Structure 1
Amino acid sequence: GVGSLGRSVPKDMEIESQDLGNCFEILTVTGGFNAGRTYFLSDDDAETWIHDIVKQRMIAKRKIYQRRSIFLRLQRLLQKTYRHSFTEALFAVFILLNFFANIMEAELLPLKGSSEDEIFRVLELIFTSIFAFELVWQAITLWFWQLFRAPIFWADAAVVSVSIAAAVREDLLGDVATLRAIRIVRILRLFNRLESLKVITFSLLSSLPRVLVSVTVMIFVSSIYAVFGVNLFGEGSQYKSPYFKYYSSAMFTLFQTCTSDSWASGIAREISDNYHQPSSDVSIFFVTYYVLMVWVLTQMVVAVILDQFMSMSHQESLKEEQRACYTKHGISEDSNTPLEPLLEKLVHFEHPEDLDEKLAQVYAALDPDDTGRLMPRDLMIGFKNLPFRGLQEPGEGRVRKIHFSHEDFHQFSKGHTLCDDGMGMSLEHFKLAMRRELWSYLQRKMQTSLATADSQSMPVVFALKMLINDVNQSGAGVGPVGPEGTVGGRLDRMEDILGEVL
């Protein structure tokens, strides 16, 4: 309810708001009713307000703390500590040390009962205790429902359970050496802790669909050659090669050919020499298969993975550069309007008629009873219930929702001038209001692009901004495209402007 007391000011306009005198800067929660926007409440008696607010805040915190159970207090404390960068780095060091200890043990192969074996057993007991402690710590922070939606936790639990069982009672596990070897997979936990490794993991996972298509093509091609090989070089042929006796043995022979493991000297020449006569069948068969599989299809798989990795690396670098530019130029990453999730969808329209159709669909979704009038409460409830699949809150992992307040409706309806006497909004007025929001959205994106543009794209972005400013000054706004001298004429000048700057 704070938003109804103050006026919303975008963060990039905070400098201009200094003429308010004594005022309060009210920051709202990103996922809350006011969608993380900033409000300013002006008051001359600011010191008394601040004293009372701090006092009431302390009283409220004391009441909440008293109502909160001991477990919830402990959970909040452990969550804050576990997610600290120092804690993550400390456990990453333990994982690396355990990894190197497992490598040394596999290299030295200490005899059972020797001093080296006792040293490695003590180290394993120490690492198992540390990771068991971390597992309990993580379980408390994730308790209750999040615990069952964390597959990484259960993978860690399986590895730690095997390590504990091997340390306590080896005689109950049978082949304990094989089970204890599972401990080496702890190093995979680093992929969830280091950002650089996350990029590699996500690149591999995101490229799997295209890689599977390429692998399927490779399997089909290999199957064709395997069937030909069984008929050309198998037991029923003049070569009688054991490498192509069955389909399964032929597939394994072709796999060996793909690995470049002695396929020419160990397989192709042996088949040809056993025939005791010059034959081009063997050469054509193996050379064409090797060229097609190794030089073409295998390189295609590598190209797919590399392309996905480069794309994700480029996206991450752009995000880092954008955050740096935001910090340098004082631009807020938060949404300046609660309608931003909807605007992100609407900007992909193909032509004006398509935009009209999309706006009509949104209006129909907000007005399920088909009354032809949208009241403020209809917009508040309807916008909040609009689904936006695939759009996630930054860092939250939740679907973005639109939180529309009465003050937002006042701004959206242009001070209620787009409403009738009963505060209702028709379809035409709704379209006009949404076009104004799209125009403002375009200007904000243009400002952000200008601040984050490089030296090559800077002239283009600046020319577009000047063009938009020219249209604004002409009063055309987001109205329909008209004759020369309005939006249509100025859009025609866009090509000339871009031609000069380029």
Structure 2
Amino acid sequence: VGNMAAALAAEHHSKGGDLLRDPSGVNSDNVVAENLAAMEFRSVLPVNEKVLRAATFYKLSAEDEWQERKVIVTVEKLYFTRIDSEVLVDQIPLHEIVKVSKLEPGTRLKINMKKAYTTQQQEHGFEIHTSVEGYNSGRLYLIKTATEPTADEWVQFLKAEVKRAVKTFTKITMIEEYQAVARSIVNHGFFQFVVTIFIFANFLANVIQVQIHREDYIFWVLDVFFTTAFSVELSINLFAHWLRPFFYDPWNTFDLIVVTVSIVSLATQDSVPGLNSLRTLRAFRVLRLIGRLKSLREVINALSAAMVPVLNAFLLVLLVTSIYAILGVDFFQSRGENGAELFGTFTISLFTMFQLTTFDGWASGLAEPIFSESVFITPEEHAEAGTSPECDGDTRVLPDTFVILFFISFIVIVVWTLLPVVVAVLLDNFIESATQSKRRAKLLREKANAPMPDPLDPLLQALTNWETNHDLSHRILALYSSLDPDASNAIDYQQFLEGLKKLHFQPTIHLTEEDCERITERHKLCNPDKTISPGQFEIIMRLQVRQFIQRRLAEALLKHEDDDDAAILSVFKHMVLQLDALNSRIETLAKLVNKETFRKVQTQLEDSISSQEEKQPVIEEHPDEQLKEPVRGVCALCDDSRAPYFCVVCSCDLCSLCCSAHQKQTATRSHKLRMGLRNGSGSRRSSSTNNSNTD
């Protein structure tokens, strides 16, 4: 009981508990420490920045709760503070805001895997998108306002301030500003629609002109008009994306070639007659639609991706066809005029074999002429041979086995086998490329509608690659060492936030004070002064890793289309939930067991102390001195601040609980103990006894 009491006392006092107090009680020392710690490590609103506008709105927190926050906009930044103080919760540099848009009622927003938030009809607000490379690492901020006009007013105000801040911070020149305007014009949907209509109209004019075979003045005017319009569109596009971004898109290069050829042909049609043939290239203007219509662009991209495998298959067909062409020259060149005409040279023989692949009159135009130059049997020859012809007076073609094998083998190998392989390779790669294109588009849509990621996800992703439990602990300890360069074994929130930003993750990890409160479970997993020890850090990170795995499992379950795999993932998810529930029950049971054990030990200690007090002689008081409160040193065993007893042999102060344990242990049972008293001058007076009569 003495050993258990000493250990329990040390553990309880290390948690800030009182000596013989119920664990469920409230320690006033902890309350004071928390109040003092609340005044530390809190950034406040800078006083030297001019406030442009301030208002109180509701901000969606990382826990999917609308929290009332004060939004303050200065010349350089947008701040979020608490309502009752000027303590900063978060801040956004204005020049790093990518987009400010109105939050439309009825919009379904996937905040995280826990819940999908749907705005109601009476709710209005706006959303702020930040730069991925900036201070806030691409975080999305959702703000709810009271009325719709307020949301509209703040959206317009923030857009104007962001534009001013970007211009001030990046020092945009006048040319760059005009380029930004040109990009907005070129990328506008209406502008692209007008250009598409012009391309269709130009193609229709070319079709009508070719159909009626007329060179009227009206067609020349239309040609000049469309060439001028396309030149203006190309000039604006070239100025907006000068220079490297323009040529990075191959469709822009194609537009440049087509428009340049059109200008040259139009300018030199009378002076240089040889260049009149360039006007025929006007028909290629319609191909510019490929770069503007998404469906056509996807088809061309898929065909381009399948080009290399198809060329390899074509090369195999060409090799086999060339072999047959060489055989045809060797065997059929000397078979009369038809043989020389069809297989006289390699190129003629190769063309004949390609004609055979089309089945265009191959029997009457290719096979029979070769047969006709082979073995013929006339009626006289029939008589000499003792045979009779099928038709009297006609010649009959005897079959040539080699010719039959030559043509049939080519048809079987090339036409029936290799050419379908080419088509199969084309379809396979086309479908694969189209599928990848759809998958990329789906990923972009999912990314646009994806839930707000946890700021620690890049770090947690790296930690989830552990092999053993010891390996995970080693990784967490190495991470803590990088966050604690002074090896003080205690990092505060500021060191935690700054250390995470220095880690080489993309995007950069950005945590706010609200995030720190969330991951430490409202400061329950850290010290009262808001510092984090290595053991506490490991508990925090293991908890975050477990939550990260649960989120990944939920995401995989939502994205997976296979029913069998989805069922397996559902079982895993159910197992994780059951383990979490079991863990919660174990923690609750442990708290109950600890409380009951503490009460039993407390009762035993009280009985033991009472029995010792019955044997203890009464300590004489000294009326000649002003006796005050007992000496309150620090207990050497459990660091308790109330230690009225002193061991003469060990030369250490002891609290009441450790003093009782000191008396019960065999090694210290014979030590002399003193109970110190403090007089008015602060000197120590004590009554000395041995352990047989000590309190």
Q: Which residue of 2 aligns with 1:393?
A: none
Q: Distance in 1 between matches of 2:479 and 2:500?
A: 10
Q: Which residue of 2 aligns with 1:144?
A: 243
Q: Secondary structure at the match of 2:453?
A: coil
Question: Under a length normalisation based on structure 1, what TM-score does the superposition of the two structures give?
Answer: 0.67
Select 2:555's aligned residue among 421, 427, 444: 444
Select 1:280's aligned residue among 401, 409, 413: 401
Letter in 2 for 1:165: V
Q: Which residue of 2 aligns with 1:491?
A: none
Any conservation in 1 of the 2:336–2:373 contact (CA below 8 Å)?
no
Deviations 1:443-468 (A, max 9, x none): 2332455xxx6xxx668636733540
Pairs within 5 Å for 1:258-269:
258-269=357-368
Instruction: Give the drift of 1:162.
Output: 1.9
Q: Closer, same or farther in 2 for the Cα pair 1:58/1:224, shift >3 Å? A: closer
Q: Distance in 1 between matches of 2:291 and 2:473?
A: 42
Any conservation in 2 of the 1:366–1:383 contact (CA below 8 Å)?
no
Q: Which residue of 2 aligns with 1:132?
A: 231
Q: Distance in 2 between matches of 1:76 and 1:84?
A: 12
Q: Distance in 2 between matches of 1:357 and 1:216?
A: 53
Q: Distance in 1 between matches of 2:463 and 2:312?
A: 33
Letter in 2 for 1:472: L
Q: Secondary structure at the match of 1:403?
A: coil
1:100 has 2:204 as partner: yes
Deviates more, 1:22-31 or 1:359-368: 359-368
Instruction: Give the drift of 1:140.
Output: 1.7
Q: Which residue of 2 aligns with 1:164?
A: 263
Q: Closer, same or farther in 2 for the Cα pair 1:355/1:191, shift >3 Å? A: farther
Pairs within 5 Å for 1:413-432:
421=533
Deviations 1:408-465 (A, max 9, x none): 9959987797998479989x9989965753442222332455xxx6xxx668636733
1:293 has 2:393 as partner: no
Question: Under a length normalisation based on structure 2, what TM-score does the superposition of the two structures give?
Answer: 0.51
Instruction: Give the drift of 1:284.
Output: 1.8
Q: Distance in 1 between matches of 2:574 and 2:154?
A: 45
Select 1:28's aligned residue among 130, 136, 147: 130
1:206 has 2:305 as partner: yes
Deviations 1:281-308 (A, max 9, x none): 2222122212322222222222232334
Letter in 2 for 1:94: F
Any conservation in 2 of the 1:191–1:198 contact (CA below 8 Å)?
yes
Q: Closer, same or farther in 2 for the Cα pair 1:382/1:109, shift >3 Å? A: farther
Select 1:403's aligned residue among 508, 514, 520: 508
Letter in 2 for 1:445: A
Q: Distance in 2 between matches of 1:447 and 1:53?
A: 34
Pairs within 5 Å for 1:187-226:
187-226=286-325
Deviations 1:219-253 (A, max 9, x none): 22112222222222234999853322332222222
Any conservation in 2 of the 1:225–1:289 contact (CA below 8 Å)?
yes
Instruction: Give the drift of 1:27.
Output: 3.8
Q: Closer, same or farther in 2 for the Cα pair 1:61/1:224, shift >3 Å? A: closer
Identical aligned residues as a percent: 26
Q: Secondary structure at the match of 1:470?
A: helix
Select 2:213's aligned residue among 89, 109, 112: 109
Q: Distance in 2 between matches of 1:97 and 1:440?
A: 53
Instruction: Give the drift of 1:189.
Output: 1.4
Q: Which residue of 2 aligns with 1:470?
A: 575
Q: Closer, same or farther in 2 for the Cα pair 1:403/1:132, shift >3 Å? A: same
Q: Distance in 2 between matches of 1:379 and 1:71?
A: 39
Q: Distance in 1 between matches of 2:301 and 2:226?
A: 28
Q: Closer, same or farther in 2 for the Cα pair 1:289/1:177, shift >3 Å? A: farther
Any conservation in 2 of the 1:27–1:38 contact (CA below 8 Å)?
yes
Q: Which residue of 1 aligns with 2:111?
A: 11
Q: Distance in 2 between matches of 1:318 and 1:14?
A: 24
Pairs within 5 Å for 1:49-128:
58=160, 61-62=163-164, 68-110=172-214, 116-128=215-227
Q: Secondary structure at the match of 2:449?
A: coil
Q: Distance in 1 between matches of 2:477 and 2:119?
A: 35
Q: Distance in 2 between matches of 1:142 and 1:173?
A: 34
Q: Secondary structure at the match of 1:241?
A: helix
Q: Secondary structure at the match of 1:475?
A: helix
Instruction: Give the drift of 1:129.
Output: 0.7
Q: Secondary structure at the match of 1:170?
A: coil
Instruction: Give the drift of 1:133.
Output: 0.9
Q: Secondary structure at the match of 2:404?
A: helix
Q: Distance in 2 between matches of 1:187 and 1:461?
A: 47
Q: Distance in 2 between matches of 1:346 and 1:104?
A: 68
Q: Distance in 1 between matches of 2:193 and 2:124?
A: 44
Q: Secondary structure at the match of 1:175?
A: helix
Letter in 2 for 1:5: V
Gaps of 5+ in 2: 1-76, 81-87, 92-108, 377-398, 488-494, 584-695
Letter in 1 for 2:421: M
Q: Distance in 2 between matches of 1:228 and 1:285?
A: 9
Instruction: Give the drift of 1:218.
Output: 0.8
Q: Distance in 1 between matches of 2:317 and 2:177?
A: 57
- CA-based RMSD: 5.3
Letter in 2 for 1:139: L
Any conservation in 2 of the 1:239–1:275 contact (CA below 8 Å)?
no
Select 2:354's aligned residue among 237, 255, 258: 255
Q: Closer, same or farther in 2 for the Cα pair 1:439/1:14, shift >3 Å? A: closer
Letter in 2 for 1:443: A
Letter in 1 for 2:131: V
Instruction: Give the drift of 1:477.
Output: 11
Q: Closer, same or farther in 2 for the Cα pair 1:25/1:335, shift >3 Å? A: closer
Q: Distance in 1 between matches of 2:271 and 2:310?
A: 42
Q: Distance in 1 between matches of 2:328 and 2:481?
A: 68
Letter in 2 for 1:72: E
Q: Closer, same or farther in 2 for the Cα pair 1:213/1:316, shift >3 Å? A: closer
Any conservation in 2 of the 1:239–1:271 contact (CA below 8 Å)?
yes
Q: Closer, same or farther in 2 for the Cα pair 1:174/1:357, shift >3 Å? A: farther
Q: Closer, same or farther in 2 for the Cα pair 1:181/1:434, shift >3 Å? A: farther
Instruction: Give the drift of 1:124.
Output: 0.8
Letter in 2 for 1:442: L
Deviates more, 1:100-109 or 1:63-72: 63-72
Size of the alignment, in residue pairs? 435
Structure number with bigger Rg: 2
Q: Secondary structure at the match of 1:198?
A: helix
Gaps of 5+ in 1: 111-115, 385-400, 479-502
Q: Which residue of 2 aligns with 1:304?
A: 425
Q: Distance in 2 between matches of 1:346 and 1:207?
A: 39
Letter in 1 for 2:370: I
Deviations 1:252-289 (A, max 9, x none): 22122223333322222212212244312222212221
Instruction: Give the drift of 1:136.
Output: 0.8
